Amino acid sequence: MDLSDSLAQSLTGLNSFERYLLQCIAIIYEPVSVTFLTKCIGLAGRYQISRVEVKNTVIGLRDAGLLNQLNQCTPDLAGNLLWRSQQEGWFDDFARLVEKEAPVSYMYGKWATRCWRALRQFRIGVYTGDFDKIEESQQFLAEHCAGHLEVESPAVLVVAHPFDPEWFSSLPGSMQFFLFDQVFRYSVERLVHFPEVLQYLEDEKALTISTIEQVPFHRMLAGYYLLQGRFDALRSLVEKHPDSFLGSGFAGSLAFLQGDADSAMTLFEKDIAQLNQYAGPEGTFFFGLTGVFCILTLLSRNYEGDRQTVIHAVATILRTCKGCPEELPFRFLDAYVRSVEGDIPDMLALSEQLKEEDRSLTTLISILCLHWMGVEIPVEFQLALTELHRRAEENGFFWLAMEAAELLATVDESHGELLPGAEKLRRQLGCRTITHIISPDESWKQSLQELIRVTRAARGIEQTIRLCWLVRFVDNMLLLTPKEQKRSSSGQWSKGRAVGLNRLAEPDAFEYLSEQDREICSALEQVGESSGKNGGFAFNLEKALPAIVGHPFVFLEKSQQTPVELVAGEPELVVESQGDSLFIHFVRDIGEGDVVVWQETPTRYRIVRITDEHRRVAEITGRNGLRVPVAASGQVLDAIGNIASFMTVHSAIDVGMDGQDVTAVTADPTPHIHIIPYGSGFRLEMFVQPFSHSGPYLKPGAGEMNIMAEVKGRRLQARRNLLLEEAKAREVEESCPMLDLAIDLEQENEREWHLLDPEECLQALLELEEIRDRVVLEWPEGEKIAVRRQTGVNQLNLNIRTSQQDWFALSGHLQVDQDVVIELKSLLEQVQKSHSRFIPMGDGQFLALTQEFRNRLEELILFGEEGREDNEIYVHPLAALALEGLTKQAQTKVDDGWRQRLQAISNAQEFVPEVPSTLQAELRDYQVEGFIWMVRLAQLGIGACLADDMGLGKTLQSLAVILYFAGKGPTLVVAPTSVCMNWEQETSRFAPTLKLHMFSGQDRKKVIKRLGKFDLLVTSYTLLQQEVELLEQVDWQCFALDEAQAIKNAATKRSKAAKRLKA
């Protein structure tokens, strides 16, 4: 990839190993240690080099500015190095090695590590063409990594920083389209301009794919031109590539923006008629940008019936793309039209959605609709428009900039200074403004505002309400702020609103308060005049803080999504040996009050009550501690023995028995793991408890060797073996990979982890269960769960028999241990419910399945159906091949029917059909392979999913298969409306012996009745759904579903219709 001159010069001066090392780091991508880097290079086998040499090389590369302090390349340098390694032929092997040694986990692990590895996987997916890898990583990055890495769209990171046309043109067509779609979507939604990317798309010679495959690229460019206000460029593009814009709505959009609504509507209607050739009776409509402009055209004309047309159009859009992120502007347009028709919409829900919106066009259109309805535009929406205007103007989206300025100046006179600039832009662009195509109807304003108020009040009653507590640590105390939170319909809690302390002073007025909340509120006292938001009330913290210990809904004030743990504690005294003196001091300052708060971690605070005894000891030791000579050890020991009756003492000197009522016990070095609910997951923390199952908890290997405390009424002393504690703690960590992957809340030596959800905790418990003799697990009261040992496929006993109609009936059981047996059918039901490899068995018990076993059971669920016998699962004979792996690994008994089916599959694999001579094209080797594969499956009665890359000739391979079977009867092709025309062209070109029929018009029944050999019927998914009763009457020789992801949702009518076809 293209680099700056300075970077390119730095690379030129590197030797071969330095360059190789940089390339390895680029592939690893996440912050990397020298140790891990040395290991990967050694495993790759190209260089055998020591850790010291790697370290020195890394330091040199950092000094040269080629690596940062975390041993990472900049994104632009990483892209260049990745491509070089791919060109040199070793990228794939090293990427697989990295994935094996540093595997990605989207379920558990440190947040930063998971996000870096997700980015790594996305990049590897792009370079290897692995769309599954891309989809998984992209989803994780979008949902979880915004707050952990400063990552824009991962596609933007890979493609545009910087953009390298030579590298990009080397990618397959489908990958180019996927990446461009992501980059341009990001660009127009966030108003960020990438000139090099745009220049590439405008270059006719750059797109090396076929004309038909250039259609989405042309439309992508057209949308960009619209928002930029480059209307001349858009007109030239549409005129130059008319076939790319059939049924697109771009010609109508252009005419509308240039002020001719009637001509625009004529063009829109022409395109809709084109689309309706392949649509059902209810018709179709444009989605996205041109759909918005078509509706605006209708609203600007305001002819009779236009508003009803808009309502029908929006209904069509939402029916076909419900839940799509681009649907919000259509909902606002619909809301406006319905309000004019007298049907006042639910504006509260729409406004709440708009608050979360940051897409440019959605923001503009939605606020515009609010303005038309006479709603006073809130300040936060005006701020959003102001930011939209700024970004649009800075990055060349001049039409958006003009409209944002016009709307801002219209809704609030304080923005009047924007009008001259908006008028100037409008003249330069040669367009109209959409802001004034409709005049606001002030009569709606009061009724809509009232509706919002009433709706808000009604919803408040329905929602679950709770009190949460925000804490701020100041001067060894916690300040408390109560907030009232409401649960949304999605189950999420709101940010909350402040509750006045004067109101909480009367807790009976709040029905939702818990007993603990009421106890905390009882610590409220009136300290001043009854004015201000708290009415003169404040907390007596010395009463309130002990009451809030253990409260489940405490969060940081500065980070209100972060849970806080509040625990009780007591003061601790330390006796240290320092040369010829002993130093006696408190572990922490006990302050001046009766309660003190110690911050142990950013999210855990210990609340300590200070008694008179503690205070007297503090007076003796003083704020800076007490030093006494070693010669006075005896007197110190006397004092320690007495103090240990009311506080814990850590001592560097051994307390003898003489004259002391102190019992010596052997210190227990066994690690204890505390498992505590924490937010939506669990917190794990490691301690030791020197007095076995009683007394204080300490960090392993840290602190003084001697400890004294009163335990169950006895004064005890134990001498700790710190080295042994540390060794045992490390042994536990090394035995539990989950702990290494979990989120470290603090430094690693704190031995504290946060597991994101219960499944992560179950994985950790499974690992800890295997070393149960070396660790103690401790749970809060009533929270305990346990995991039985891991179970694999080989423990499954399976029976397969042939039932009626050659289906196979499966039954069996899983032998967990001598006492526990689970029937196969029951096991499958639990697997369906759990969505993880941990199966609940009741009473807090879980069965752990290996991931392979879980995958095999999911395959059985996918292919299985409910059997007539209570304990049987039925599978179709076509599923035999898919289930062969399961049956080989399990303890399986089969009958002759199963064996014969497997033999038939084996025979089909040896069959080699010939490509039909009437195909007017010569297939490439990989296309011949695809043809043979599909015909073999057809011989078995099995369907196929051909998922070759864009531009590799899937249509041509399908036509070859259709010709192979054409002499036996008719064929059906189902495709999206916009692709049906492509099938018509490709069939005429490559398979002229086929008799092509387009399934449209009024004579569909006649067409169906006349179908015979060599007939090919092409229809749309919409008509398939509408005319399935007619289409299912035909015994098709074969049928092809183009863009088959259209039926991936088995619950849709479209998918059900496809499954009714017979071939």
User: What is the CATH classification number for the domain harbouring 1047?
Assistant: 3.40.50.10810
H/E segment holding residue 808: strand 808-815
Helical segments of 749-879, H only? 758-769, 824-834, 851-863
Write the CA distances from 835 to 832, 849, 857, 1018, integer angstroms: 6, 12, 12, 40
CA distance linking residue 668 with residue 652, whole number of Å: 18
983 with 1030, same domain: the answer is yes
Write the CA distances from 666 to 104, 630, 839, integer angstroms: 44, 25, 41
1049 with 974, same domain: the answer is yes
- DSSP letters for 693-734: TSS--B-TT-S-SEEEEEETTEEEEEE--HHHHHHHHHHHHH
Q: Is residue 143 part of a domain?
A: no
Q: Is residue 845 part of a domain?
A: yes
Q: Where are the beta strands (DSSP E) in 619-680?
A: 626-629, 648-651, 663-666, 671-678
pLDDT for the residue numbered 600: 72
Whether residue 30 has pLDDT greater than 60: yes
CA distance linking residue 991 with residue 980, whole number of Å: 16
Q: Per mean pLDDT, which range of 87-91, 422-426, 890-894, 998-1002 is the poorest?
A: 998-1002
CA distance linking residue 848 with residue 978, whole number of Å: 48
- DSSP letter, residue 675: E
Global pTM reads: 0.52
- Residue 164 contacts residue 194 (beta carbons within 8 Å): no
939 with 1020, same domain: the answer is yes
Of the pLDDT bands very low, low, confident and very high (cuts 50, 70, 90), residue 830 is confident
Q: Per mean pLDDT, which range of 17-21, 115-119, 486-490, 547-551 is the poorest?
A: 486-490
Whether residue 462 has pLDDT greater than 50: no
Write the CA distances from 788 to 203, 765, 836, 861, integer angstroms: 62, 9, 15, 23
Whether residue 235 has pLDDT greater than 60: yes
pLDDT for the residue numbered 386: 93
Amino acid making up residue 496 = G
Q: Is residue 870 part of a domain?
A: yes
Of the pLDDT bands very low, low, confident and very high (cuts 50, 70, 90), residue 999 is confident
Q: Is residue 334 part of a domain?
A: no
Whether residue 857 has pLDDT greater than 60: yes
955 with 883, same domain: the answer is no
- The tens digit of pLDDT for each residue in 924-982 reads 888 899 999 998 888 877 788 888 776 678 889 999 999 999 999 999 999 888 788 78
Q: Is residue 135 part of a domain?
A: no
Mean pLDDT score, 857-866: 80
Q: Is residue 519 part of a domain?
A: yes
Q: How many domains does the chain have?
A: 4
- DSSP letter, residue 487: B
CA distance linking residue 640 with residue 635, whole number of Å: 9
Helices (H) and strands (E) in the chain, counts: 44, 34
Domain that holds residue 1030: 911-1059
Helix, strand or coil for residue 767? helix
Closest CA to 126 of 96, 83, 166: 83
- Residue 875 contacts residue 807 (beta carbons within 8 Å): yes
**Chain position carrying tokens 């599909």:** 934
Whether residue 781 has pLDDT greater than 70: no
Of the pLDDT bands very low, low, confident and very high (cuts 50, 70, 90), residue 456 is very low
805 with 903, same domain: the answer is yes
902 with 927, same domain: the answer is no
Closest CA to 437 of 385, 371, 498: 371
Residue 319, Cβ neighbours under 10 Å: how many?
10
921 with 1054, same domain: the answer is yes
Write the CA distances from 66 to 22, 63, 225, 879, 969, integer angstroms: 8, 8, 38, 54, 65
**Which of 891, 907, 923 is at the close of a domain?**
907
Whether residue 640 has pLDDT greater than 70: no
Top pLDDT among 1007 and 324 is at 1007
Mean pLDDT score, 265-285: 81
Whether residue 133 has pLDDT greater than 80: yes
361 with 396, same domain: the answer is yes
Token couple for 34? 């020298």
CA distance linking residue 307 with residue 289, whole number of Å: 19
**Which of 543, 562, 581 is at the close of a domain?**
562
pLDDT-above-70 percentage for the chain? 86
Whether residue 868 has pLDDT greater than 70: no
Whether the ω angle into residue 162 lies within 30 degrees of 0, i.e. cis, is yes
863 with 926, same domain: the answer is no
- The tens digit of pLDDT for each residue in 661-679 reads 667 788 899 999 887 766 5
Q: Per mean pLDDT, which range of 187-201, 214-228, 572-586 is the poorest?
A: 572-586
967 with 883, same domain: the answer is no
Q: Is residue 725 part of a domain?
A: no
pLDDT for the residue numbered 444: 42
- DSSP letters for 895-934: -HHHHHHHHHHHHHHH--PPPPTT-SSPPPHHHHHHHHHH
- Residue 761 contacts residue 675 (beta carbons within 8 Å): yes
Q: What is the mean pLDDT of the chain?
A: 82
**Chain position carrying tokens 């003190």:** 596
866 with 928, same domain: the answer is no
pLDDT for the residue numbered 773: 85
Q: Is residue 809 part of a domain?
A: yes
**Which of 504, 538, 562 is at the close of a domain?**
562
916 with 1053, same domain: the answer is yes
Q: Work out whether the CA dihedral 240, 246, 248, 254 comes out positive or negative.
A: positive
pLDDT for the residue numbered 170: 87
